[in-house]
Structure 1
């Protein structure tokens, strides 16, 4: 396995963000999903290794309030689209000008918002994301806020049980996570018409948590769809996701 290098950068408001990097070559910036981390989404199950072996420098930050990054409790450190602010600061700090960008779930949503805010990756990867998921964040967010507010009392069979279990496993700071959830914005379907770079919508066969990935690919000016095994929780554990990313990036 390639060495995983760890550095820290300052995000919005001076928040300390951990950045994990594997491989050497063309920069690929990858963002993980909600309540997850770079380690769990990309490194643990081998997909970062697949990308590194294909000649990419895989740059994987832990989002604020996740992984080894800081999780401040000050509401002022969670303005609207703070994850996009963090992303733009990271791109500037690393001096990235010719790079690719991707993310899974919340990471995909943040990648879209980053492009709409002016980032210009050569290619874009949206994992675990559908058309309605970009516009329907308020509903998704309410589900996770409910899981935070009822944490410790949710029993098996409740639709929030999986979110509670994942938060326990990942030792999520629930105060910071709740603040972060309030900072994420919806992206209306008409906005994605301005995303013109080649974009891969890669999604597990049984993953409809964020709507239809084929519909998202069809709505994008230069969208492409790839189906991989798994549901929203398991698709990142299959190496088919990393292979689909390599095929797309090298095409």
Structure 2
């Protein structure tokens, strides 16, 4: 299936990459922290599986990620900048009737956007996210700041070593990444009652990185909960994640 990549300017002129696959009903997919559309959606076939059911899969690379720009100026990272990037994409494409999905940071960004009334998708998919990743994000951000600050000094066996290796493999700009981490506020879990559209909460059966996904599903007014095999990083490498998303979406009406 054909994959194309374009670029557009976000709300502040930052150049962002958009990857497209398929034709049909639009679904916007947002990737995880320090990952990319290629890593989360394309490489392991999830986008192709969804596109094969009659969807146009629209995959954003957030700023500091993938093929998008990574500005180093602090002013390029206002609060919830990634929500604004996602909204800029929806505006750029003129989407009015669409679905939205995200994994990890992408799921967190999607929930912030919907809970604050910035985006109004018809349906929502929340992958690899639990209540702690929303209401206690400051702790998670502190972990990644340590990864950035201590980087090459982190020894093997340290819980942060794998994350450091992942950042290195992705070529992440650490100056920009540190700014980005400071732009992500916690979400008041009471706001989840505003997320009223049909929602799939899907998470690896060994994934506790962001707290309880099942608890998150219970807080959402109209959510289905599904487990797939894998850890937080491992679940995106298995076909089960894409299959669960595609099966839940079904074919467009």
TM-score by length of 2: 0.97
**Aligned runs of 1:39-78 on 2, under 5 Å?**
39-78=38-77
Inter-partner Cα distance in structure 2 for 1:38 and 1:109: 16
Please list every run of 5 or more consecutive structure 2 residues that lacks an aligned counterpart in the other structure.
Answer: none
Match of 2:155?
155
**Aligned runs of 1:123-134 on 2, under 5 Å?**
123-134=123-134
Deviation of residue 174 (structure 1)? 0.5
Match of 1:87?
86
Secondary structure in 1 matching 2:134: helix
Inter-partner Cα distance in structure 2 for 1:81 and 1:189: 16
Match of 1:227?
227
Inter-partner Cα distance in structure 2 for 1:224 and 1:93: 30
**Aligned runs of 1:1-251 on 2, under 5 Å?**
2-118=1-117, 119-250=119-250
Taking a change above 3 Å as real, the CA distance of residues 55 and 102 of structure 1, as seen in their structure-2 partners, is: same
Deviation of residue 11 (structure 1)? 1.2
Deviation of residue 54 (structure 1)? 1.1
Inter-partner Cα distance in structure 1 for 2:74 and 2:132: 28
Deviation of residue 185 (structure 1)? 1.2
Secondary structure in 2 matching 1:59: strand
Secondary structure in 1 matching 2:249: helix
How many residue pairs get aligned? The number is 250
Contact 1:12–1:77 at 8 Å: present in 2 too? no
Per-residue CA distance 1:100-137 (angstroms, 9 max, x = gap) = 00100000000011112321101001100012221010
TM-score by length of 1: 0.98
Secondary structure in 2 matching 1:14: coil
Post-superposition, which runs of at least 4 consecutive aligned residues in structure 1 deviate over 3 A? none
Secondary structure in 2 matching 1:12: coil
Per-residue CA distance 1:153-183 (angstroms, 9 max, x = gap) = 1111111111101001101000011100100
Deviation of residue 12 (structure 1)? 2.9
Taking a change above 3 Å as real, the CA distance of residues 220 and 185 of structure 1, as seen in their structure-2 partners, is: same
Contact 1:216–1:223 at 8 Å: present in 2 too? no
